[in-house]
Structure 1
Amino acid sequence: MALRSKSKYPLVGLQQPDEFMDRLRRGFSLRSVLSGKWTPDGLRVRGIGSLHGFASHCKAFPSWGAEATRLVEINLITANRRKGARKRNLTHCKRGHELSGTNLGIKASGQRWCKACNHGLQKIGSVMKPEQIARVHKAIENGLTVGQITQTRGARRLIVTFKALKRYRIENPSFDRFLIENARVRLSRSQLMLFRIVPSNAEHFRLDLAQEDVPPFEMQAGDFEWILSLLKQKRVPFEARYDVAQDIIVSLLSRAISRENLANRIMDFTSEHYRRNPGLGYGTVKQPDSLDAPIYDDADVSRGDRAHRGLWD
């Protein structure tokens, strides 16, 4: 072990070399000898000398310095092994679970962990920190989905785990409603309502159920044209616009939705329309015509029969 002491002062040596050597032989590391802390028995004592004085004494007395250097190197290894001894000797975790048998997990680094606590956190999720809550609010306002918030994708790291976010939504229904209201992707909003993390909020977003906090709707001149313009902005197919507009008016009159929130719920009405009328969605690239559908409105021959006969007759 090479000892270096950078000082402008002359070599002064140690005032108590015998006590210094005695501590090294008792297993003290060089740091614990000098400071009096982190001793082998855990008791704090008075420190002896300085690093500069130790280096000076080793240089002035080579035989003493060789023995001290050898002990310093041995004690350093022992001191490093003592690090973390308190946690290694724990028999129970902070929640009272026994750290032994099948409940004890050991990481590749040698660190121990409690399986019961880990299973509990995985089941209910951890508590979100205030800075995480603020980041999640900002991410939702910027249009990020739950998957983008709870998953690492490329250079963007996750903000919080899915189970921690789920726990916060359950404990804070107002936040869950904020999340659903600000979901900019139609599929994301429908999934958030489908899983019913907070059942009362899922009911709040139904299109056929009156809400207590929605004021009565009064039809005004130009409202129908306004609704059609919203449908056109959302690129709802022309053949479905009038049917969807009628569904919107019914929901407005029944107080299922307010006038202010209509623009954000247009695609929910469109999805509900095609869910009730699956045949109307055929004929597009994403949803081609069904082979069971007739060739013409009054024909008895299906598209599948015509394709089969065209190929083999």
Structure 2
Amino acid sequence: MPATYQRIVLTSRPQGPVLPENFRLETVPTPALADGELLIRNHYLSLDPYMRGRMSASKSYADCQALDETMIGGTVGEVIASRNERYNVGDFVGGVLGWTELAVSNGAMLRTLDTSRIGLSSYLGAVGMPGMAAWYGFNQIMASKPGETIVVSAASGAVGSVVGQLAKLRGCRAVGIAGGAEKCAYVVDELGFDACVDYKAGNLEQDLAAATPDGVDGIFENVGGAVLDASLARTNAFARIALCGIIAGFSGADLSIKNSRLLLINRLTLRGFIVTEHMEFWQEGLRELGGLVADGKLKFRESVAEGLASAPEAFIGLLAGRNFGKQLVKLL
């Protein structure tokens, strides 16, 4: 068992864009295990947009990230020592253990992972929290029917890519919104969306109208701001909107809804959600997602940064849209 390990802590709260100096890389001693505890060597760390909200001291749906403590984050790894009868050395587990190479756990909120048909990193993406966010928003809020048209923002990302594929499996028309021609080509050619609009091309409203000639029955929103407004303009009566994220707000963009009158005129349902508040659906959703990944019916792409020290820059790149697909940090 190693005598020390590295972790990254939050040292200051960003005043505007996240900067590398908001973090500190530390080397700390490996603690001894008490009865009921286990030691996990993390193989992969997940980087996700929600982390930016936790870095703020503003009131939110969850407690803010404490200063000088290990930065929050989902992980998958291997048990390397155990004094917990439920976990054995060599077991692969997933949890929220943070930006750290090693972590001690009492076993609470861990899940044992089967890597015989599903790669370990997939449990941080399509078969993890992002996949569940997609599954829950699509099935429980949008409740889309065959033949309906749905729009998905950030369509090449870890959440949006799953939404569109679930929609196609349901028999829907799936239209993505993504940044850049390369991402749009991937969304259509690899993921099977019917169309994808490049919001960076400067013709968002016109291009989205052309891609949705029969209007829009469901919106899965990850961005907010102008992207959401453009989608609202295309809604049919009684369309449903699953509001999963507002990543545009992290860069200071205006998040006001200019087409708010359509909420009434088209009798729209708009519901924000936090997927970790709906754990009663996780077993069902993860079973379906895992089966689809194992059978090759659900595709995904990963951006992988190497080493814990690379996490701050990779996270900053994620917020700026420089990643492609699920952003991970490989720790081992």
TM-score, normalised relative to structure 1: 0.22
Higher gyration radius (CA): 1
TM-score, normalised relative to structure 2: 0.21
Task: Select the structure with the greater relative contact order (CA < 8 A; seq sep ≥ 6).
Answer: 2
Indicate the structure with greater strand content. 2
